[in-house]
Structure formats: C-alpha cells, structure tokens
Copies of this chain bind each other. A is one copy, B any other.
Amino acid sequence: MKKTCTYNIDCNKCEIRSKLFCSKLEQVELKELSNTVTHLEFPKDTNILSEGDPITHIYNIIYGMVKVYQLKANGDEQIIGFLYPGDFFGSHEGGTYDFYTQTIVPSKLCKIPINDFEKYLQNNRPVYDDFYDAVVNELKLARIQINILSQNNAEDRVIDFFKLISKKQVSYGMPQSPVTIPMSRYDIANYLALTTESVSRAITKLKNKQMLKAKSLNTFELCL
C-alpha cells in the first residue's frame, strides 16, 4: 500500500469531526477549512514527522493508530503514547515538533496547515479552550504513564497497560472487553520500559491466572 492523498474534502461529512476542535467551528469556518485540509492514507510503520522538523501542520487521526515517541539521551526511543481515531498531534511545541510519530497500522490522517489552525485558535475562543483541554488531557495521560512506570513489577505494568487500552477503547465507542492490541510486543515493552521477553512472560502468567484469555495473538478478554 502506498500513501494516497485526497483533496476536495467536505469537513461536514467528516466521520470524526465531533471528537475534534472542528466541532467548535462556525459553518463559514468549516467550509473554509474544507479547502485547506488534506486527507492522507499511510501504510503501517510510516514515519509522519520527526523531532526538530518545523511545525507545518496539525494531524488528526481519522482511522488507524499512531505511536508517539521521543529519543532518550542514549539514542533509544521511548514511546510516550498511542493515538486513536479522534486524537491529534502536531502543536504546542514552539517552532519545531518535539517528538516522533509513526503509524503502527494502516492509517488515514487529516492534515491541517498550522497557519489556518492558528487563525481559529486566535479568533475562536471555544477552539482555544478545546485545544487547551487537549493539552491538559495529554498531561494526565503522561502522569498515568508515570504511575505505571513507577511500579517495578512487570505483571502490574502489563495489567495497567491492558486497563489503559480498555479505557481508550471505551472512550472511542468500542467495548471494554475484549481488548485489541494493534501494537507489537516491542512497542508495548517500550511503553512499559520492559523487554519484549518480560512482557511476553507477564502475559503468559496472566493467562495462567485466568486474568487474561487470549482470543488471538492480539485480542484478549479481560478478567482483571
């Protein structure tokens, strides 16, 4: 699969608009926005942007999933979040992005030029408020990750990871269980600051304890 672009978007028909700042825009603004956005389809494992790139766009996730990561001092990557449809990334970092993003499954993104976005931010207070709330939410998620990492027990971290994904699913209208894990064991391990082996062993133990039931390699019934 190759990257495909779509122009002539009609934002009024957007399937995820209700979840985004766009829902706060006036009809006039929305019509205007339709002319500046691009829809992009990316295959799995596509880099969208890198730390240090000049900020040019805001990206909304229409479908698929994106991982966000930083590089640590030693050069290793550290995943700081997984983005679901309705999530966005790309702003509040000053002049350049301060993280990397990569699709982990085939994904469709909506790309808005930063200048247009800034305009709405300046002129439309509800948009600004919405955006502000999004940052606060990111902060909460970061602190949840801190709480997860502060447990030095692989099993507890993995349990928390499944709970986190379960909650994410609920907030995106999916069922609480079973949980679908599109990310690789490597990505889970990275997010939890463990090795893939430790994640694998923890999952095995949880299955033995009947706390997880594997429906497939990436789907689990939760009994936590």
Residues of A at the B interface (CB closer than 8 Å) are 70, 72-73, 78, 80, 92-93, 98, 128, 132, 135-136, 138-140, 142-143, 145-147, 149-152, 160, 193
Contact = CB atoms under 8 A, between A and B. Distances in A.
The 8 closest A-B pairs by CB, nearest first: A142-B142, A150-B193, A149-B149, A92-B136, A139-B139, A78-B150, A72-B147, A135-B135
Contacts of A132: 92, 132, 135
A72 B143 CA distance: 11
Given A132-B132, A136-B135, A150-B149, A143 B80 contact: yes
Copy count, this protein chain = 2
Contacts of A93: 136
Given A132-B135, A139-B139, A80 B149 contact: no
A199 to B, nearest CB: 14
A17 to B, nearest CB: 24
Contacts of A143: 70, 80, 142
A110 B39 CA distance: 48
Contact of A135 (B78, B139, B145): B139
A93 B138 CA distance: 12
Contact of A128 (B92, B128, B151): B128
Contacts of A150: 72, 78, 149, 193
